[in-house]
Amino acid sequence: MWIFITLVLIDLYIWWRLVTDLRKRNIVLRLISFTFKTALSIVLIYLVARLVTYKGEFDDPANAFRYIAFGVINILIIAVGSVYLGLSIVTRLAGRILRRKMSGLVITNIILSGILIFLFADGYFRQRFDVRIIREEIPFRGLDSRLDGMKIILISDLHLSSYHRHYGKLVEAVNLINSEKPDLLINTGDFVTFGWKEFGMCDTILKNATATGGSFAVIGNHDDGTYMPDYDEEYGRECMDKVSDKIRASGYTLLNDTTVLITHNGAQLSVSGVVTHGHRLNMRFGDFDKVMDQYDDSLFNLLLVHDPAGWKAASENGRLPDLTLSGHTHGMQIGLPAPGGYISPASAIHEYWRGLYSRENSYLFVTTGLGTMGMAARIFMPPEIIVLTLRQE
């Protein structure tokens, strides 16, 4: 409840500043500013009212989506309020230091706020569905020649309620996967955000994504239901069972601290999965030793672990797999394109947050995922389908 009260207070502060700053300004500027601000306030009031009065299942897809839609308004209002307050403080300090009145504050505030509103609106309506196919060829020393050219597709972090009312976009993603004709399809978890009901009927969509050598998945830290309000162990067991059943119904072999052997072009390789539990920076992993004891060092070993920090945890026994695939970070769903990649606050939180990393002859690839959580928007951090091709070095 405190977040709702805080947001209302910030919204009132922005209104007060707008009314005060625009009192003697051009009527067109006032009309445009008040129109956008009124629309923003209406959306805020609507979402707060729906969330507070909702009496149904918390993890119903519609309710779960409202929470991440609320996240967009939440962050946007805080950002706009911070811009107003921050610029006011800086301008006053600069005015005192220079001993003169600083001009242009009102217009600067409105322009910056307008840019923020545009970015968040574009991130909500367009960018979160603007799926990019990322291709990477990875060279391995000693790779069996029969595995050269093997194509692996990696997806992660679907957070299926983020597709509520837009399940056609999920169908489009499935069609993109199939158009690549992958040898393996890998999903590194976080199918849901709060609870198993978010899965809905999405298994009927996901099962249409296929790979000639099979589809494999692992549990993410959201899939065990611990983000559900009033979580208890009984619900945790129910959620894990239900989500696991849905994952299998989606066509995946679910790997819970297990290893399977598969064959490609007559060559064997292992595919392993280690579960991830926990919240935010406090992550716990399954049994790496149990999984790695099943490794045959003469084979190519592929590991699935939701949180890329698991790559470092796996290295503690001195037997890193050839290739580890992860997601989890989302790139914080916000970034800035830069030469050689993206700049994102995710890099300050996660040692491995996006793209390819290497250590000796072992590689890690981290995807920023397909869905959204926290806020139903992506800003210069597009959803990804990763296409990896194994190559002999």
What pLDDT tens digit does each residue of the chain (393 aa) get? 688 889 989 999 999 989 988 888 889 999 999 999 999 999 999 999 999 999 999 999 999 999 999 999 999 999 999 998 998 888 878 777 877 776 678 888 889 999 999 999 999 999 999 999 999 999 999 999 999 999 999 999 999 999 999 999 999 999 999 999 999 999 999 999 999 999 999 999 999 999 999 999 999 999 999 999 999 999 999 999 999 999 999 999 999 999 999 999 999 999 999 999 998 778 999 999 999 888 888 999 999 999 999 998 888 877 789 999 999 999 999 999 888 778 999 999 999 999 999 998 899 999 999 999 999 999 999 999 999 999 998
What is the token pair recorded at 85?
Answer: 């307050």
Report the distance separating Cα 245 and Cα 147, nearest Å. Answer: 31
The number of C-alpha atoms within 13 Å of 82 and in the hemisphere containing its C-beta is 7
2-59 tens-digit pLDDT? 888 899 899 999 999 899 888 888 899 999 999 999 999 999 999 999 999 999 999 9
> What pLDDT shows up at residue 21?
86
> What pLDDT shows up at residue 260?
97
Domains defined along the chain, listed by start: 2-125 (no CATH), 132-392 (3.60.21.10)
- Residue that has been written with the tokens 């389908």 in this structure: 385
> What pLDDT shows up at residue 94?
79
| Cα torsion 26, 28, 29, 34: sign | positive
DSSP-derived 3-state class of residue 203? helix
State the pTM of this model.
0.95
H or E segment to which residue 142 belongs? none
> What pLDDT shows up at residue 103?
66
> What pLDDT shows up at residue 102?
63
One-letter amino acid identity for 367?
Answer: T
Distance of CA 253 to the CA centre of its chain: 22
**How many Cβ atoms are within 10 Å of 284's Cβ, its own excluded?**
12
Alpha-carbon distances of 232 from 212, 224, 228, 246, rounded to whole Å: 40, 11, 9, 21
